[in-house]
């Protein structure tokens, strides 16, 4: 069984303006400490892992306290790594994995993130976290393709697991279509990453996935068992899907999840959309919007 992830977008605030951002952050909204603690209390039994994200979760005033409240889970914090303080890092408990967003080397990263100096500050945070478990997540966009080998070397240098993420064309990525890979580039990267994955084992992970005939029995979805909560409390199937199952300010998380599990959508998702998979999709690398999003909640 997949590890079951609950993603908590605890704040809409962010330092960056990433060109692919699924939620077009920064935006309004912040989940208060006591609401999040209650959600964490209810999450036991439904989830194995909690992701604190945003926006930039380190801009939430109670992030450290929340990580201590989530000690029964594997906790991930997805961060820009922009201006992390030594003290904040020292106060994090041992069950926390830091997940840094890196979208290129040097000015390529700064350009993509709309923030001059972001790369230099990210490197400082990577230095500060030499001894912590961590991941680097890289978006597969046009401008970074020639830098893949340098990015692998950087992740090795800092002892981070490396994760290459496909761009899902939602949020700000819909406005910045020039970042999207062509069909040929997707094919080339798919082949390259599959080879690297075989050579490097668990060090390198990718969710760039191509629909083929084998998926008629169900896609190997990374999102099975996953749910996401927005900074205004909406519970969604994941951070990319616009559908809403309920709101934690109106209904308990447990009740929302129990109802969601009875929905046709979640039943279908847990089978990898085996009855919805089509081979005639426009882009075989994008099952998210071409198959999943066409299925109403």
Burial class (CB in 10 A: 0-12, 13-18, 19+), 296: exposed
96 binds ligand SF4 (CB under 6 A): no
Instruction: For the CB of residue 104, give the shortest distance to ligand SF4 in the complex, in Å.
Output: 24
- For ligand SF4, the closer CB: 189 or 221: 221
Subset of residues 102 to 141 that bind ligand SF4, contact rule: CB under 6 A: none
Q: Which is nearer to ligand SF4, 229 or 292 (CB)?
A: 292
Residue 60 Rama label (left phi>0; alpha psi -120 to 50; beta): beta
Cβ neighbours of residue 68 under 8 Å, at least 6 residues apart? 93
For position 8 contacting ligand SF4 by CB under 6 A, the verdict is no
> Minimum distance from CB of 75 to ligand SF4 (Å)?
20
Nearer to ligand SF4, 119 or 164 (CB): 164
Residue closer to ligand SF4 by CB (options 23, 237) is 237
Closest CB 241 distance from ligand SF4, rounded Å: 4
**Nearest-approach distance from CB 183 to ligand SF4, in angstroms:** 20
What are the residues facing 234 on neighbouring strands?
A: 247
Q: For residue 241, state whether it binds ligand SF4 (rule: CB under 6 A).
A: yes
Closer to ligand SF4 by Cβ: residue 148 or 208: 208
Residue 173 binds ligand SF4 (CB under 6 A): no
Closest distance to ligand SF4 from the beta carbon of 211 (Å):
11
Between 56 and 215, whose beta carbon lies closer to ligand SF4? Answer: 215
Q: Does the footprint of ligand SF4 cover residue 284 (CB under 6 A)?
A: no
Q: Which candidate, 197, 193, 119, places its Cα nearest to that of 154?
A: 119
Candidate residues 96, 196, 260, 292; the one interacting with ligand SF4 per rule CB under 6 A: 292
> Which lies closer to ligand SF4 via its Cβ, residue 76 or residue 240?
240
Q: For residue 288, state whether it binds ligand SF4 (rule: CB under 6 A).
A: yes
Chain residues 211-240 in contact with ligand SF4, contact rule CB under 6 A: 221, 223, 237-238, 240
- What is the total count of residues that contact ligand SF4 (CB under 6 A)? 9
CB nearer to ligand SF4: give 35 or 259. 259
The footprint of ligand SF4 (CB under 6 A) covers: 221, 223, 237-238, 240-241, 269, 288, 292
């Amino acid at each position: 069984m997949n590890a079951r992830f609950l993603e908590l977008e605890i704040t809409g605030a962010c330092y960056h303006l990433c060109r692919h951002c699924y939620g077009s952050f920064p935006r309004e909204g912040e989940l208060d400490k006591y609401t999040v603690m209650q959600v964490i209390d209810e999450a036991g039994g439904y989830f194995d892992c909690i992701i604190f994200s945003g926006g930039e979760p380190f801009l939430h005033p109670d992030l450290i306290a929340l990580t201590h409240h989530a000690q029964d889970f594997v906790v991930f914090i997805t961060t820009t790594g922009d201006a992390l303080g030594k003290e904040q890092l020292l106060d994090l408990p041992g069950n926390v994995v830091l997940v840094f967003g890196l979208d290129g080397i040097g000015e390529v990263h700064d350009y993509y993130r709309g923030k001059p100096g972001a790369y230099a500050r990210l490197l400082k945070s990577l230095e500060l976290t030499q001894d912590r478990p961590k991941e680097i997540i890289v978006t597969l966009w046009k401008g970074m393709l020639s830098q893949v080998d340098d990015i692998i070397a950087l992740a090795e240098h800092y002892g981070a697991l490396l994760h290459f993420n496909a761009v899902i064309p939602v949020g700000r990525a819909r406005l910045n279509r020039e970042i999207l890979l062509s069909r040929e580039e997707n094919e080339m990267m798919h082949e390259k990453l599959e080879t690297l994955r075989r050579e490097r084992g668990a060090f390198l992970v990718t969710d760039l996935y191509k629909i083929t005939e084998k998926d008629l029995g169900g896609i190997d979805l990374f999102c099975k068992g996953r749910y996401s909560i927005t900074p205004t409390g909406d519970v969604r199937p994941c951070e990319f899907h616009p559908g809403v199952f309920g709101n934690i300010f109106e209904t308990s998380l447990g009740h929302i999840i129990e109802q969601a599990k009875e929905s046709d959508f979640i039943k279908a998702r847990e089978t990898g959309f085996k009855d919805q998979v089509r081979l005639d999709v426009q882009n075989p690398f994008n099952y998210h919007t071409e198959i999943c999003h066409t299925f109403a909640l």
